[in-house]
Structure 1
Amino acid sequence: MDPVESAPELVVVGAINVDLIARVARAPGRGETVADGELTRQPGGKGANQAVAAARLGARVRMIGAVGTDALGEYLRDAVSSAGVDVAGIQTADGDSGTALIVVDDDGENSIVVCPEANLRIDPDCVSVAAGSAILAQLEVADAVVESAIAQTSGFVAINAAPARPFSASILERADLFIVNEHEYELLPALRDARLVAVTLGADGARLLRRGTIIASASSRPARVRNSVGAGDAFSAALTLGLLRGDEPAVALARACEVGAAAVEDDRSQPALSALDEYAVGTHENR
């Protein structure tokens, strides 16, 4: 079988932003001005980051989202398309494209302000997903958009529940996998009884829980952190693809940690990634 034809297929539903990144030695405190920053403009948004990561890891990916009618709209659409993602599902909404203002310090830590704009104007009635499609979505777009997508498929559904906020019962009940960091997990008690939840622990790796019980854990290799903005998105894409293609949960989790470590070593929100199988499986443990 042709490798392209055998690659996992994934529909990613989520936000598409322009990332304006100010890299500084030290992030400013409240009311403080810090000079000598270096400004870059990059494509970003959790949805676009995950779509691009999944494509670079070897999946066939279709993106559902929206960009604005401003000049940045075509820039963002082209950035996603150039990574090999099908952009036919990206809508054009009147007004500005989404923008994220990001400060990254010398330790790679970041603070982010998101101005969603077009991401809040996705028309759920125009969302189209083929029956049986696997879906990866986040919470930077309206519940109605995610609900429209997951209602059209009987396939695997992964939800990166970020940012942590209340979401509908239909999303909770339909998701096969939730992906959160440890802070988000604490803020979302409804996930305690979810059928499968991956909780990322930063430099300490990740855990996989079924109905609140740890079934697998993985460590993370030491990494030289340049930018942590896209690390969780790369992890989410890698874990979803691993489980989708039938990897053992502990192996999928460990490989996703390797991908996340590679992502933080890249300056970009959409890091350069290799095929999923090129990432060695680190330490993992079944529970």
Structure 2
Amino acid sequence: MITVFGSVNIDLVSRTARLPRPGETVPGSDYQLIPGGKGANQALAARRAGASVRMIGAVGTDDMATIALSELEAGGVDLSGIQRSGATTGMAVITVDDNAENTIVLSPGANARLSASGLQAGAIGAGDTLLLQMEVPFAENLAAARIAKAAGARVILSIAPFLPVEREAFADVDMILVNETEAADLARHLGLLPGSNGAATVAKLASELGRTVIATLGPEGAVAATQTETISVPALKVVPVDTTGAGDTFCGVLAALLDEGADLATAMRRASVAGSLACAKAGAQPSFPLREAIELSLASDPAFP
């Protein structure tokens, strides 16, 4: 069982030929309202990969809440842990250019009031997985991690969006997920010199923190460092349409595979394929692939052993 403790947002998305410079107005497409939030994204990605998933999050009392929860509800995610807090649901204003790059402005709304009290006694057990991100109060993340670790669960922290995290905050974390930029930022924050590439940086972080560290590398795939080995996996070759949510897809699918008992290399291969597939469609949650699509793409690409 996977429990995701994290953000639920509505994404307001507009496409434009190029991203605006400071002070500049550029023409955009008709906007779309798409369910999002890193917590909700990871929950849906894990569910579509075949896991049983419970979402612990917060939404407002506005009309946006129904849209924000719609894909999770349709996908069969357990929403009994959703809290109603305050007037507004979190919103991300996203601009996507013709190169599939994006800018994001996040208004937290109810996410700022999410409490770890939603993790009731007995809700997480030994062998379960807790997924955390950085769009809710970090003190509540730490409280959730303590609850899960005490119950014997695996705790995975996605440091996205990046915030400087002190060493002691990883006490109840088993696995740290970052992208290449976040890996370098974390290394510098901890007083380490980033490596010459993503693999070298995650190796330094894993050694320093005594934790498994995984970095996504965009079109180069992903790399993990444990205390005993380094694992690299390629990305699936796709024509990118929108990279929004690709990292969350990776996180959710990785957790789903680990939760069902796969080894790290197997889980990373499927997570990398899923993240690539998510880049080939517009929007975050609507782009997340089902398990069947992941397996089909994996089997048909010679880059994957």
TM-score, L = length of structure 1: 0.90
Structure 2 unmatched ranges of 5 or more: 191-204
Question: Cα 1:109–1:252, aligned 2, differ >3 Å: closer, same or farther?
Answer: same
Q: Which amino acid letter does the alignment assign opposite residue 20 of structure 1?
A: L
Q: Deviations over 1:177-234 (max 9, x none)?
A: 11100100111125442310111111111100124x7611011122111111110010
Alignment partner of 2:132 out of 109, 129, 137? 137
Alignment partner of 2:101 out of 105, 109, 121? 109
**SS of equivalent residue, structure 2 residue 31:** strand
Q: Which amino acid letter does the alignment assign opposite residue 172 of structure 1?
A: F
Tell me if 1:224 matches 2:239: yes
Alignment partner of 1:199 out of 192, 212, 215? 215
Tell me if 1:245 matches 2:260: yes
- Cα distance in 2 for residues equivalent to 1:202 and 1:277: 20
- Cα distance in 1 for residues equivalent to 2:56 and 2:251: 17
More strand by share: 1
Q: Which amino acid letter does the alignment assign opposite residue 51 of structure 1?
A: A
**SS of equivalent residue, structure 1 residue 254:** helix
Q: Which amino acid letter does the alignment assign opposite residue 223 of structure 2?
A: R
Q: Is 262-271 or 119-128 further displaced after alignment?
A: 119-128
- Cα distance in 1 for residues equivalent to 2:114 and 2:296: 36
Partner of 1:100: 92
- Cα distance in 2 for residues equivalent to 1:62 and 1:229: 23
Question: Cα 1:245–1:41, aligned 2, differ >3 Å: closer, same or farther?
Answer: same
Alignment partner of 1:280 out of 274, 298, 301? 298
- Segments ≥4 residues shifted beyond 6 Å: none
- Cα distance in 2 for residues equivalent to 1:214 and 1:203: 22
Q: Give the superposition deviation at 1:72.
A: 1.1
Q: Give the superposition deviation at 1:146.
A: 1.7
**SS of equivalent residue, structure 2 residue 252:** helix
- Cα distance in 1 for residues equivalent to 2:167 and 2:118: 22
Question: Cα 1:33–1:228, aligned 2, differ >3 Å: closer, same or farther?
Answer: same
Partner of 2:27: 35
Q: Is 145-154 or 216-225 further displaced after alignment?
A: 145-154
CA contact (8 A) 1:216 1:284 kept: no
- Cα distance in 2 for residues equivalent to 1:165 and 1:24: 29
**SS of equivalent residue, structure 2 residue 92:** strand
**SS of equivalent residue, structure 2 residue 278:** helix
Tell me if 1:15 matches 2:7: yes
Q: Is 187-196 or 46-55 further displaced after alignment?
A: 187-196
- Cα distance in 2 for residues equivalent to 1:175 and 1:146: 10
Trace 1:141-152 onto structure 2 (pairs within 5 A).
Answer: 141-152=136-147
More helix by share: 2
Question: Cα 1:29–1:258, aligned 2, differ >3 Å: closer, same or farther?
Answer: same
Q: Give the superposition deviation at 1:75.
A: 2.5
- Cα distance in 1 for residues equivalent to 2:265 and 2:70: 36
Partner of 1:6: none
- Cα distance in 2 for residues equivalent to 1:272 and 1:181: 18
Indicate the RMSD between aligned Cα atoms, in angstroms. 1.9
TM-score, L = length of structure 2: 0.85
CA contact (8 A) 1:12 1:51 kept: yes
CA contact (8 A) 2:124 2:153 kept: no
Q: Deviations over 1:36-84 (max 9, x none)?
A: 4331110000001111111111111000110011111232233321111
Tell me if 1:120 matches 2:85: no
Aligned residues: 276
Q: Which amino acid letter does the alignment assign opposite residue 176 of structure 2?
A: F
Tell me if 1:210 matches 2:216: no
Q: Deviations over 1:227-260 (max 9, x none)?
A: 1111001001111222232323222212211111
- Cα distance in 1 for residues equivalent to 2:255 and 2:297: 15
Q: Is 170-179 or 18-27 further displaced after alignment?
A: 170-179
Structure 1 unmatched ranges of 5 or more: 1-8
CA contact (8 A) 2:35 2:70 kept: no
- Cα distance in 2 for residues equivalent to 1:55 and 1:36: 33
Question: Cα 1:229–1:36, aligned 2, differ >3 Å: closer, same or farther?
Answer: closer
